[in-house]
Chain A
Amino acid sequence: MSGDSLPLTLPLSRFATDSCEATTLYRELRKPLLRYLVCLGLSMDEAQDIVQDAFLSLHRHLASGGSQENIRSWLFRVAHNGARNRQHSYDRRFGTPLDPGIDSISDDATPEQVVLEKERFRRLGKAICLLTESERECLLLRSGGLRYREIGEVLGIPTSTVGDTVDRAIKKLAEKCNV
């Protein structure tokens, strides 16, 4: 994700300098978290707010002696719950996939390629629409590099259910997109 070099605000600066591990976590997870939240339907501003809040919560959690296990899934869970808390727009945004926009196709493409690409995106968008909310969220977290156990911790579902959900979602996409 380019163009999002958000400078550390004062609280996060202090947080970053307190421990190398926290700095590493911030550098490693900030972009995947932003990516996840934007894909869920939040604006970039909202996503950045939630990510900032998540890392501030992490700082308080660590400062108070909280467990340092599964920090990755902990952060994603906090971010996910932060996104869910925006209830007034959650159903509208999270219910349907985002519109990729017609300007996403390369200017060098031939007219035939443009038509084929548009058709491909249309079928893909339609297929993603047919996924359930849980399937979409599992795939988004999976594409963010989380393991099934971590995905289960973020969404509050058993690891076996995550496996079944991911399996079902991938097969649906493959079938609907005629891949």
Chain B
Amino acid sequence: MCDFSGRIVAWMDRELPDNEAADVERHVRACAECRSRVAAYEEASRAFVAYYDVVRGARKGRRLPYWVPVLSGAATAAAVLLLMFLPASVQQIPVRVQVAEVPSAVGLQTASAPVKRVHRRHVVAPVKTRNANWALAEPAIQIAIPAEAMFPPGAVPEGVNFIADLSIGADGSVQGLRLQP
């Protein structure tokens, strides 16, 4: 291989010092093998650039598959229909238990079961609490939650427990949540 072969690419890129560049240029003019190398390296450079031009063009022109908007529209329509018909399929929560039983149920809570639905009751009238400033027009659920499940250790004095009053709307959504000690 020619001694100048290692400097041809740098000469093509005009990265050689002037005196070296002049030497290489003189040699390339005289050496057929190096002239063919120059042509090959120029073609390789052009091909590299052309390849990425095509790749960028393909990437820019790429559109979503036709089925994506169709599927999205169908999913949206299905969700709307489901929401429209969902309330009819929601069953009323059955009436079961009295509020008075909750405190004793709290006493039975263990640390390994942070939330336990103890009783459910159906109320027509609002729950009589100190801060009952919202009316329960719909069936309500009371859930006893141990204090250590909600607050860091030591944040709540011992023996204090909370009852969560949950109000469920006709559409199945939670209408109100109130914690009371």
Contact = CB atoms under 8 A, between A and B. Distances in A.
B15 interface: yes
B57 interface: yes
Interface residues of A, number: 34
A143 B41 contact: no
A101 interface: yes
- Please classify the interface of chain A as helix (H, G, I), strand (E, B), loop, or mixed, using the class held by over half of its residues: helix
Nearest to A173: B44
Interface in B1-58: 6, 9-10, 13, 15, 37, 40-41, 43-45, 47-49, 51-52, 54-58
Nearest to A125: B51
A143 B6 contact: no
Contacts of A140: 52
Given A104-B54, A177-B44, A179-B40, A142 B61 contact: no
Q: How large is the interface on B (under 10, 10 to 19, 20 to 34, 35 or more residues)?
A: 20 to 34
A128 B47 CA distance: 10
Contact of A174 (B44, B49, B51, B59): B44
A29 B107 CA distance: 71
Contact of B6 (A142, A167, A174): A167
B128 interface: no
B96 interface: no
Nearest to A139: B48
Contacts, number: 84
28 contacts: A1-B56, A3-B60, A35-B52, A38-B56, A39-B56, A97-B51, A98-B52, A98-B58, A98-B59, A100-B54, A100-B58, A101-B54, A101-B55, A103-B58, A103-B61, A124-B51, A143-B48, A148-B10, A148-B13, A163-B9, A163-B10, A166-B9, A167-B10, A174-B37, A174-B40, A174-B43, A174-B44, A179-B47
B1 to A, nearest CB: 11
Given A44-B60, A174-B43, A179-B43, A99 B48 contact: no
Interface of A: 1, 3, 35, 38-39, 43-44, 97-101, 103-104, 120-121, 124-125, 128, 139-140, 142-143, 147-148, 163, 166-167, 170-171, 173-174, 177, 179
B135 to A, nearest CB: 49
